[in-house]
Structures are given as structure tokens and as C-alpha cells.
């Protein structure tokens, strides 16, 4: 039987909190209640949730291009706000998984695809930040691996004014449904 999964992408303190080192700001904070509601609804209908988190070592070469952020185990790497409150009681649920990732695409060099396939997932719903970077490239990664992709417009944010352009590109390039 086909299943669905919700991916929560990079909703860390560094990307969402006002004091984060690479924050997407208020737009990112505004999507948190929507993501929590969608995560709970996904579990209630029998689907899965994957928290996909940018994870870096202190001297990661990634920081040649970006400010230092999401150092594994630090405050900046932790889930933001009400997402922590949702995740903690659900973290032992076998349909909830945490996926550390070192690249923009949550599928690249992770076990996300394997975990989703074991659960019979054929459709992934994408939420999180940033629409034009990690959400966009995770949509590409999902599409390349044969997953149907759905992006929740009310569940994504970025720090630049090009969100709609990237949503349209996902729709055109990866056959992503925008809801």
C-alpha cells in the first residue's frame, strides 16, 4: 500500500531563530505552527515524518560559502520552538525519523530514501527552509528517485524575494504539486 511522508527541512535555531547565524527570519518563524499541524496530521493518517537537518562539523568546507551554522550538537543545530515540543514525544515513534544531512538535498548521502522505501512511501510532502536552496534541491532529489513531490506553500520560507519563482520551477522541472 502506498504511503506518504512529510519532510521537515532545516527548521533549526540557526535557520529560524532571530539569533540564528543564517536565519530566514520572520517568514520562517511564521510557518512553524503550520508544519507542526501537518506533521501531526501525517502521523494521524498513518504516514511518516522525517526531520531532515543540516549537520556540519566545526571546520566543514561548506563554511567557505556560508557563515558557520548548524554545528552538530549545538543550540543552532537543534529544532526550533514548537517543533521541539512536537518532536520530543514523537521521537520514539518508528514513523518519525531524524536525518542529518551535509548537503542541500536531504536524499544525498543519507539513508532517507532507504527509510522511506521500507515504509512503502511513494509521495513526499516538503516543508521547511529555504525554499530556493534545500527545499528546492530536496524536491529535485525526490523526483530523481521516483517519489511524487508536494510542496506546502504555507510550510516553506526563504530569506530572499524569489520564493514564488522557485515554487514555479519545482512545479515545472520536478512535476511538484504546490498546495
What's the pLDDT score for residue 97? 96
List the 177-178 sheet strands across, edge first. Answer: 96-101, 48-54, 3-9, 121-129, 148-157, 177-178
- DSSP type of residue 44: H
What's the pLDDT score for residue 52? 98
pLDDT values of the chain reduced to their tens digit, one per residue, 179 residues:
569 999 999 999 999 999 999 999 999 999 999 999 999 999 999 999 999 999 999 999 999 999 999 999 999 999 999 999 999 999 999 999 999 999 999 999 999 999 999 999 999 999 999 999 999 999 999 999 999 999 999 999 999 899 999 999 999 999 999 99
- The CATH number given to 3-178 is 3.40.50.850
Task: Convert the pLDDT of each residue in 139-148 to its tens digit.
Answer: 999 999 999 9
57 Cβ contact partners less than 8 Å away, ≥ 6 residues apart: 71, 72
Task: Convert the pLDDT of each residue in 43-58 to its tens digit.
Answer: 999 999 999 999 999 9
Question: What residues does each domain of the chain span?
Answer: 3-178
Strand 96-101 relative to strand 3-9: parallel, antiparallel, unpaired?
Answer: unpaired
b/e 99-117 (16+ beta carbons within 10 angstroms → b): bbbeebbbbbebebbebbe
| Torsion sign, CA atoms 75, 151, 145, 166 | negative
What's the pLDDT score for residue 2? 65
- Which grid coordinates are listed for 122? 511513494
Amino acid at each position: 500500500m502506498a504511503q506518504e511522508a512529510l519532510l521537515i527541512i532545516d527548521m533549526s535555531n540557526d535557520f529560524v531563530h532571530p539569533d540564528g547565524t543564517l536565519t530566514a527570519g520572520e517568514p520562517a518563524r511564521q510557518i512553524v505552527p503550520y508544519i507542526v499541524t501537518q506533521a501531526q496530521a501525517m502521523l494521524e493518517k498513518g504516514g511518516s515524518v522525517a526531520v531532515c537537518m543540516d549537520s556540519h562539523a566545526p571546520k566543514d568546507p561548506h563554511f567557505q560559502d556560508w557563515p558557520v551554522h548548524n554545528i552538530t550538537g549545538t543550540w543552532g543545530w537543534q529544532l526550533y520552538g514548537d517543533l521541539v515540543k512536537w518532536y520530543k514525544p514523537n521521537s520514539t515513534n518508528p514513523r518519525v525519523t531524524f536525518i542529518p544531512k551535509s548537503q542541500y538535498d536531504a536524499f544525498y548521502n543519507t539513508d532517507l530514501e532507504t527509510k522511506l522505501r521500507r515504509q512503502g512511501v511513494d509521495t513526499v510532502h516538503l516543508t521547511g527552509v529555504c525554499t530556493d536552496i534545500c527545499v528546492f534541491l530536496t524536491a529535485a532529489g525526490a523526483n530523481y528517485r521516483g517519489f511524487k513531490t508536494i510542496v506546502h506553500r504555507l510550510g516553506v520560507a526563504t530569506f530572499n524575494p524569489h520564493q514564488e519563482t522557485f515554487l514555479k520551477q519545482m512545479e515545472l522541472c520536478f512535476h511538484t504539486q504546490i498546495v
